[in-house]
C-alpha cells in the first residue's frame, strides 16, 4: 500500500507532524540538539520505508511515532541520562567553590523550534515540556519514559502505545505504573496546577531583569519565593532559599561585575528567560542563559546554563557591542 511515492506528496502528508515529533524526541532525550537530529533521522527512515506503510493497520501519526521511538531507543542505548544538578547531588553552600560535573546535562528547548505557525503546535501539552517535568523523565528507563509520554502526555491508547514501542499492551501498562511510581519516589518538585498567564510570567521576569541590570540583590530577592531553587549546569552546585540565592548573587556581581546586557528568550513551551552578557572591555560577552519557573507568588526556580551547545541552539551571539548589537553589526 504505502505512502505516495512522489516526494512532494510524501512531504505534504508527514510535515504537519514535525513539531510534535520534535517535542516528543526532546522529552525522550532531554537535548534540543539531539531531538532535532532524531527528527531528521525519523523523516529519513520514513521516506525510505514509505512503501511499507499500511494505512489499514495504523494511522500515519502512529507509524511516524513508532519510527521516532525506535530512533530514540537506539540513541538512548549509548547515551546516559541527562539530569539537572538538583536531581543528582545534595544541595551545596552558595558561597562554596563551583564544581564542574562530567555529566551530559538536561538542556532547555528553544521556543523558536516550536513554530507558532505550525498547526501541530496546538496538540503540544506545554506543561509536559517544562524543565521540571523533563528532569523527572530522566529518572526513568528509556521504555518507562516512552510509556509515560505516550500514555499520559500524548494520550495514545495502550494498544497504540504497544504498537509504537513494539511490545504488548500489558507490558506498556506495567512500564507506565513503574514510571508513575518512580516519578513520585524521586520527589520532583511539582509545577503548580494553575500557573500565571504568559504575560504575567514575563512581567515577573522583566522586573527581575531590571533588578539584575542594576545589580540590585535585594530587588532580586523580593521577586523570589521563599523556597526558590537555583542550579547552574555544568556546575553541580545548587541551593534552595531566598537568602542563599541573595548570597550567591552578591558573589556573582562581585566576581563578574555589575555591567550587563540582557536579551529575552523563551523555552520549553513558554518558560520565560534571558541571555546574560557581561561587560568585557569595550563590549559584552555571553555569560549564561537563564530559564525561570514562575508561580503566582514569584520566581520559584532559576535554571542557569553555561553551555556552548545550548547557546547555539538558541542562536545566541557570542558577543555584543555597547548598543546591544552583535559585534560586527546586526542583531541577535
Take residue 326 and report the three cell numbers written for it: 552583535
pLDDT tier at 296 (50, 70, 90 boundaries)? very high
Cα–Cα dist 91/222, whole Å: 22
CA distances from 180 to 80, 137, 146, 173, 199 (A): 21, 10, 12, 11, 32
* 157 located within any domain: yes
**Residue 247 above 60 pLDDT?**
yes
Number of domain units in the chain: 2
- Confirm whether 116 is domain-assigned: no
pLDDT for 325: 83
Q: How confident is residue 47, by pLDDT bands cut at 50, 70 and 90?
A: very high
Give residue-wise pLDDT tens across range 62-91. Answer: 999 999 999 999 999 998 899 999 989 999
Task: Please state, for a pLDDT cut of 70, what percent of the chain lies above it.
Answer: 91
DSSP class of residue 33 equals H
Rg, the chain, Cα only: 21
Q: Are residues 202 and 179 in the same domain?
A: no
Domain-located, residue 100? no
Asked whether residue 231 falls in the same domain as residue 279, the answer is yes
CATH code of 219's domain: 3.10.450.50
Please provide the average confidence, as pLDDT, over all residues in the chain: 91
How far, in Å, CA of 112 to CA of 97, rounded?
Answer: 35
Please check whether residues 62 and 205 belong to one and the same domain. Answer: no
pLDDT at 126 (0 to 100): 76
Regarding whether 234 and 269 lie in a shared domain, the answer is yes
The answer on 239 and 149 residing in a single domain is no
Domain boundary residue among 137, 163, 185? 185
Lowest mean pLDDT among 28-37, 48-57, 240-249, 266-275: 48-57
Q: Report residue 194's pLDDT band, with 50, 70 and 90 as the boundaries.
A: low
Q: Report the share of the chain in percent with pLDDT over 90.
A: 80
**Residue 286 forms part of a structural domain:** yes
pLDDT confidence bin for 315, thresholds 50/70/90: very high
Same domain, 299 and 161: no
What does the alpha-carbon distance between residue 148 and residue 156 come to, in Å, rounded to a whole number? Answer: 10
Q: Please tell me whether residue 1 adopts helix, strand or coil conformation.
A: coil
Does residue 170 fall inside a structural domain? Answer: yes
Q: Prior bond to 234 cis, omega within 30? A: yes
Report yes or no: 43 and 25 within 8 Å, Cβ to Cβ.
no
> Which of 161, 185, 209 is the last residue before a domain boundary?
185
User: Do 149 and 259 belong together in one domain?
Assistant: no
Length of the chain equals: 332
Tell me, yes or no, whether 290 lies in a domain: yes
Q: What are the b/e assignments for 124-150, b being 16+ CB within 10 Å?
A: bbbebbbbbbbbbbbbbebbbbbbbbb
**CB count in 10 Å sphere of residue 195:** 18
Backbone region of residue 180 per phi and psi (left: phi > 0; alpha: psi in -120 to 50; beta: other values): alpha
Q: What is the pTM of this model?
A: 0.91
175 & 28 share domain: yes
* pLDDT of 331: 43
Establish if 332 belongs to a structural domain.
no
The Cα 93–Cα 273 span in angstroms is 25
Do 295 and 161 lie in one domain? The reply is no
- In whole angstroms, give the CA distance from residue 78 to residue 92: 30
The SS3 call for residue 123 is: helix
Number of CB atoms found within 10 A of residue 52's CB = 11
CATH number at residue 36: 1.20.140.160
pLDDT of residue 6: 54
pLDDT higher than threshold 90 for residue 267: yes
Return d(Cα 230, Cα 227) in angstroms, integer.
10
List strand residue ranges (DSSP E) for the chain, in order. Answer: 224-231, 238-240, 260-267, 271-280, 283-295, 298-305, 319-320
In a domain, 192, yes or no: no
Do 168 and 224 belong together in one domain? no
Domain enclosing residue 133, as ranges: 7-92+127-185
User: Is the domain of 72 the same as that of 159?
Assistant: yes
Domain check: are 137 and 206 in the same one? no
Return the C-alpha torsion angle 176, 177, 182, 185, nearest 10.
150
Amino acid at each position: 500500500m504505502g505512502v505516495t511515492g512522489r516526494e512532494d506528496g510524501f512531504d505534504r502528508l508527514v510535515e504537519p507532524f514535525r513539531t510534535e515529533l520534535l517535542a516528543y524526541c526532546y522529552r525522550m532525550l532531554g537535548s534540543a540538539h539531539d531531538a532535532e537530529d532524531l527528527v531528521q533521522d525519523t523523516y529519513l527512515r520514513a521516506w525510505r520505508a514509505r512503501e511499507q506503510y499500511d494505512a489499514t493497520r495504523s494511522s500515519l501519526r502512529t507509524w511516524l511515532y513508532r519510527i521516532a521511538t525506535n530512533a530514540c531507543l537506539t540513541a538512548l542505548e549509548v547515551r546516559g541520562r541527562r539530569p539537572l544538578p538538583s536531581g543528582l547531588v545534595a544541595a551545596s553552600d552558595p558561597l562554596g567553590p563551583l564544581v564542574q560535573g562530567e555529566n551530559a546535562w538536561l538542556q532547555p528547548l528553544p521556543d523558536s523550534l516550536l513554530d507558532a505557525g505550525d498547526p501541530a503546535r496546538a496538540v503540544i501539552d506545554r506543561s509536559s515540556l517544562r524543565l521540571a517535568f523533563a528532569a523527572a523523565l530522566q529518572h526513568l528507563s528509556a521504555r518507562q519514559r516512552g510509556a509515560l509520554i505516550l500514555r499520559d502526555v500524548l494520550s495514545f491508547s495502550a494498544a497504540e502505545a504497544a504498537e509504537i514501542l513494539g511490545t504488548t499492551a500489558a507490558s506498556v501498562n506495567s512500564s507506565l505504573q513503574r514510571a508513575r511510581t518512580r516519578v513520585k519516589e524521586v520527589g520532583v518538585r511539582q509545577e503548580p496546577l494553575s500557573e500565571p498567564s504568559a504575560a504575567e510570567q514575563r512581567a515577573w521576569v522583566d522586573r527581575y531583569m531590571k533588578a539584575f541590570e542594576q545589580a540590585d540583590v535585594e530587588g532580586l530577592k523580593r521577586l523570589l519565593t521563599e523556597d526558590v531553587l537555583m542550579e547552574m549546569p555544568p556546575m553541580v552546585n545548587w541551593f534552595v532559599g531566598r537568602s542563599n540565592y541573595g548570597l550567591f548573587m552578591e558573589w556573582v556581581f562581585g566576581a563578574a561585575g555589575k555591567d550587563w546586557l540582557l536579551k529575552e528568550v523563551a523555552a520549553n513551551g513558554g518558560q520565560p528567560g534571558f541571555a546574560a552578557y557581561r561587560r568585557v572591555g569595550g563590549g559584552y560577552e555571553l555569560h549564561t542563559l537563564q530559564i525561570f519557573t514562575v508561580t503566582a507568588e514569584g520566581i520559584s526556580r532559576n535554571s542557569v546554563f553555561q553551555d556552548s551547545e545550548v547557546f547555539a541552539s538558541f542562536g545566541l551571539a557570542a558577543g555584543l557591542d555597547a548598543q546591544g548589537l552583535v559585534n560586527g553589526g546586526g542583531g541577535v
